[in-house]
Amino acid sequence: MTTRSATTAAASTSGPLVSCAVGYLSAWLAARTRMVSSQPKYELIQEVGRGSYGVVYEAAVKCTGARVAVKKIRCHSPENVELALREFWALSSIQSQHPNVIHLEECILQRDQLAQRMSHGSSSPLYLESRFTLSIMAARPELSHFIRLVLVETSLKGEITFDPCCAYHLWFVMDFCDGGDMNAYLLSRKPSRKTNTSFMLQLGSALAFLHRNRIIHRDLKPDNILISQARTPAGSSEPTLKVADFGLSKVCSASGLNPEEPASVNRCFLSTACGTDFYMAPEVWEGHYTAKADIFALGVIIWAMVERITFVDAETQKELLGSYVRQGEDIVPLGEALLENPKMELLIPARKKSMNGRMKQLIREMLAANPQERPDAFELELRLVRIACRELDWDT
């Protein structure tokens, strides 16, 4: 099972590191345009996040000054390559943009001074399968089938053959979210029903969009939901949420699924138990699940948001939004408790009067032990809109 927690570092980056990284991006530009250019396209400003995968920077597009986020992943281990490819495959498979899903501007593969833009599709004759992956397969034969599968499945293309002696990096250029993650944003403010309603609607819409595009996120949690405080065109006073971190996501292949029928994502069965334990559905712990696992995770998040239920992460000591059950002194993830006892009644709401009857019923259904009793993302989106409309009526 993979459990991960993100560590955000506020420290700013040292000068040499920034200029070195700018050099790489400059080299990318030169390689891409097939001419020598001394003008880097992006200027790194500061480090905004760090994890076992690599580092995320705030950066500026040189010619416009627009802010972007640049996530740099070092491709030195099969695990990192896998995370990077999953993220690339999911974000680049989306044909249109959604305001609540992080947008991938471009992805750059870089080795020393060589760099090139990644693309997927079948136009290039060369695959990314290379001496690098062959060396991983030799060292870790148990992974070779998987690596081949990922590479073939993703059809990633490249023109540089990997050399195991060189360091390779993937750079993801994305929307920059200036408001931190959902934990930091909500927990530093007083509870607001208006903000909660807006966030629920945005999350419902993002998940319906992802599932319509046959993407199962598999690691929905407040750490991976980022906030952009830039003014929205509609002039809403609430910030914009962006679902991010697609390192564990799965794009369900169209074979066997009807691409015209969005709900078919709910029949795509997966078996890799992954996610972060407090947000994992009972069937994920067992390793046999569908897109309904994302609905469960969103149920944990929405319940925690509405009632301000938090726990302290043992590893990072950070306070995190997430609902759970108490067993004596211990707190136990909901999915784990429901796996043990599927008939367990959840105490929703945990505090009296904190939510209306419709919301209570919806959260109960999202957290049903049996995934078939949960609404799918399309029904969820509609029901959240109905609940929000009633809330607004009530306010005016």
Ligand X SMILES: Nc1ncnc2c1ncn2[C@@H]1O[C@H](COP(=O)(O)OP(=O)(O)O)[C@@H](O)[C@H]1O
To ligand X, the closest distance from the beta carbon of 101 in angstroms equals 11
Nearer to ligand X, 103 or 148 (CB): 103
To ligand X, the closest distance from the beta carbon of 379 in angstroms equals 28
> Does 194 count as an annotated binding residue?
no
Angle between helix 377-395 and 292-307 (nearest 10): 20
| Binding residues for ligand X restricted to 333-372, rule: CB under 6 A | none
- Select the residue interacting with ligand X from 84, 158, 169, 223 (CB under 6 A): 223
Quote the tokens at residue 98. 């959604």
Residue 244 in contact with ligand X, rule: CB under 6 A: yes
Q: Provide CB contacts within 8 A for 241, sequence distance 6+.
A: 100, 182, 199, 202, 203, 206, 225, 226, 227, 228
Closest CA to 85 of 99, 97, 73: 73
Closest CA to 6 of 46, 48, 59, 45: 48
The CA distance from 382 to 140, in Å, is 47
Nearer to Mg ion, 56 or 252 (CB): 56
C-alpha atoms less than 13 angstroms from C-alpha of 260 in its C-beta half-sphere: 0
Nearer to ligand X, 82 or 129 (CB): 82
- The distance from CA 324 to its chain's CA centroid, rounded to whole angstroms, is 22
Residue 59 in contact with Mg ion, rule: CB under 5 A: no
| Binding residues for Mg ion restricted to 198-257, rule: CB under 5 A | 224, 245
Catalytic residue among 175, 219, 223, 245: 219
- Select the residue interacting with ligand X from 28, 42, 53, 209 (CB under 6 A): 53
Specify the stretch interacting with ligand X by CB under 6 A; choose among 19-27, 206-214, 240-248, 333-341.
240-248
Quote the tokens at residue 180. 């931190």
Residue 30 in contact with ligand X, rule: CB under 6 A: no
- The distance from CA 135 to its chain's CA centroid, rounded to whole angstroms, is 29
The Cβ of residue 350 has, within 10 Å, a number of other Cβ atoms equal to 15
Specify the stretch interacting with ligand X by CB under 6 A; choose among 175-183, 208-216, 333-341, 381-389.
175-183
To ligand X, the closest distance from the beta carbon of 161 in angstroms equals 27
Specify the residue for token string 């004596």: 328
Residue 49 in contact with ligand X, rule: CB under 6 A: yes
Q: Residue 174 touches which of ligand X, Mg ion, none (CB < 5 to 8 A by kind)?
A: ligand X
Nearer to Mg ion, 6 or 384 (CB): 6
- Select the residue interacting with ligand X from 26, 29, 175, 298 (CB under 6 A): 175
- Select the residue interacting with ligand X from 18, 27, 29, 48 (CB under 6 A): 48
Specify the stretch interacting with ligand X by CB under 6 A; choose among 24-32, 221-229, 318-326, 352-360.
221-229
- In Å, how far are 89, 150, 155, 157 from 86, measured between CA atoms? 5, 8, 12, 14
Q: Provide CB contacts within 8 A for 261, sequence distance 6+.
A: none
Residue 181 in contact with Mg ion, rule: CB under 5 A: no
Closest CA to 322 of 187, 177, 178, 179: 187
Q: What is the 3-state secondary structure (H, E, C) of 92-144?
A: HHCCCCCCCECCEEEEEEEECCEEEECEECCCCCCECCCHHHHHHHHHCHHHH
Give catalytic status of residue 245 as yes or no: no
Quote the tokens at residue 282. 């009972």
- Select the residue interacting with ligand X from 59, 177, 220, 366 (CB under 6 A): 177
The Cβ of residue 6 has, within 10 Å, a number of other Cβ atoms equal to 20
Q: Residue 69 touches which of ligand X, Mg ion, none (CB < 5 to 8 A by kind)?
A: ligand X
The CA distance from 69 to 48, in Å, is 9
| Binding residues for ligand X restricted to 375-394, rule: CB under 6 A | none
Nearer to Mg ion, 2 or 361 (CB): 2
Residue 47 in contact with ligand X, rule: CB under 6 A: no
Residue 275 in contact with ligand X, rule: CB under 6 A: no
Which spans of this chain sit near Mg ion (rule: CB under 5 A)? 6, 224, 245
The annotated binding site is made up of: 72
Which spans of this chain sit near ligand X (rule: CB under 6 A)? 4, 6, 8, 48-49, 51, 53, 56, 69, 71, 102, 174-177, 181, 223-224, 226, 244-245, 247
Annotated catalytic sites, by residue? Answer: 219
